[in-house]
């Protein structure tokens, strides 16, 4: 059957694609896929990381320590500022419709590990507390994130904390 062959060639084809390729009606194509071939359109799901036993235990220990600190100081999380670096890519996101595939009932579910990223990227460094972002900045193109650069970022963070959260500032 031609529809089955076309789906096996490219499982991302839509009914509209098949209608254009074969010249059959949309309803006939849909009926063949669902009733005769017993296929359905299934969207890919993101799969979380698989943690090793050591990583799981490390997370349990960290949570226990935090719990102990919170019992001593219930406002602990209101005083914390944390930071992260993240690459920001420029890409054309794939829609749920574009990532869905035709699958039979005994086919494995599709999985999508990550989006295809473009070569255009920049690093974002951000610091945040329980109330939101305290300071963030993009790393200029060509800039190496080294000790000297990060020291400047931390000085900007210090200034932001002095302005936005003076109750946290106790240093000089």
pLDDT digit string, tens, across residues 31-61: 999 999 999 888 877 666 777 889 889 999 9
- Integer Cα distance of 39 and 33 in angstroms: 5
Res. 118: pLDDT tops 70:
no
The predicted pLDDT at position 156 comes to: 95
- Asked if the structure places residue 10 within a domain, the reply is no
Please, how many CA atoms are within 13 Å of residue 38, restricted to the half-sphere of its CB?
Answer: 4
- Asked if the structure places residue 148 within a domain, the reply is yes
pTM of the model as a whole: 0.46
Would you place residue 106 in the very low, low, confident or very high pLDDT band (cuts 50, 70, 90)?
Answer: confident
Tell me the torsion sign for CA atoms 9, 10, 13, 15.
positive
- Asked if the structure places residue 6 within a domain, the reply is no
What confidence tens digit (pLDDT) does each residue in 10-27 have? Answer: 888 999 999 999 999 999
Q: Which domain holds residue 118?
A: 38-168
Average pLDDT of the segment spanning 72-88: 89
- Asked if the structure places residue 33 within a domain, the reply is no
- Asked if the structure places residue 25 within a domain, the reply is no
- Asked if the structure places residue 26 within a domain, the reply is no
Res. 115: pLDDT tops 60:
no
State how far Cα 41 lies from the chain centre: 23
- Looking at the 3D structure of the chain, how many domains does it have? 1
Would you place residue 91 in the very low, low, confident or very high pLDDT band (cuts 50, 70, 90)?
Answer: low
Residue 116 CB contacts under 8 Å (≥ 6 apart), including other chains? 91, 94
- Asked if the structure places residue 107 within a domain, the reply is yes
- Integer Cα distance of 84 and 131 in angstroms: 16
- Asked if the structure places residue 152 within a domain, the reply is yes
């Amino acid at each position: 059957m031609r529809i089955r062959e076309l789906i096996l060639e490219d499982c991302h084809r839509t009914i509209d694609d098949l209608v254009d390729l074969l010249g059959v009606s949309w309803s006939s194509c849909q009926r063949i896929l669902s009733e005769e071939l017993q296929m359905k359109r299934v969207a890919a799901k993101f799969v979380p990381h698989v943690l090793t036993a050591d990583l799981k235990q490390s997370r349990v220990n960290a949570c226990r320590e935090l719990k102990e600190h919170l019992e001593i100081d219930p406002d602990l999380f209101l005083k914390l500022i944390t930071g992260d670096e993240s690459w920001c890519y420029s890409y054309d996101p794939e829609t749920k419709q574009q990532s869905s595939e035709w699958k039979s009932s005994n086919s494995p579910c599709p999985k999508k590990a990550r989006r295809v990223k473009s070569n255009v990227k920049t690093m974002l460094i951000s610091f945040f507390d329980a109330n939101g972002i305290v300071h963030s900045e993009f790393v200029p193109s060509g800039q190496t994130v080294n000790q000297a650069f990060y020291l400047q970022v931390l000085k900007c963070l210090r200034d932001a904390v002095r302005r936005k959260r003076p109750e946290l500032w106790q240093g000089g």
